Amino acid sequence: MSNQRIKTPCVGLCSTVYGDLVCRGCKRFHHEVVNWNLYKEEEKRAVWRRLEILLVQVMGAKLDVFDATRLRSQLEQHKIRFVPEQSPYCWAYQLIARGARLISQLEAYGVALLPEFRHWALPELRDAIDREFFLLSEAHYERYIAPRFLLEGVESRV
């Protein structure tokens, strides 16, 4: 596995350049993508943490990581990059995102789908996870970030 530390949530599918306020690739907000290299480490950690919390929420509703040690070992063996400090549920996302078309026995990786998702094909599940993760990020933006920007615009006119 690459020993390079993952320095940014970017996955190379940025939609903010097309005007999205939330990136469909990494799920960061437009201003976070634009200002990432200017952020202090604590600001970057806050973004990473928010993304982790939202992704774990989505993943935990669809699967169980029953053997995190095995999952980590398999990721390393297959050279799939992941953030070791994050939840094993984020690792499982990396596994499914990179190997959805190749994996036939998810349990061999220490991961089991919850009963209501066992009939789903992994590519279909990967796409559903990605959509839900995006929708949660978008909802977070609308609830906590957009109102602040709206207020700032009103205050500057007063």
Q: Read out DSSP for 7-46?
A: -----S---GGGT-SB-TTT--BHHHHHHGGG--HHHHHH
At 100-142, the pLDDT tens digits run 999 999 999 999 999 999 999 999 999 999 999 999 999 999 9
At 12-51, the pLDDT tens digits run 788 877 778 899 999 999 999 999 999 999 999 999 999 9
Which residue is associated with the tokens 């190997």? 99
Give the C-alpha separation, 36 to 153, whole Å: 23
Element (H, E) at 3: none
Helix (H, G, I), strand (E, B) or coil at 85: coil
Give the C-alpha separation, 75 to 95, whole Å: 7
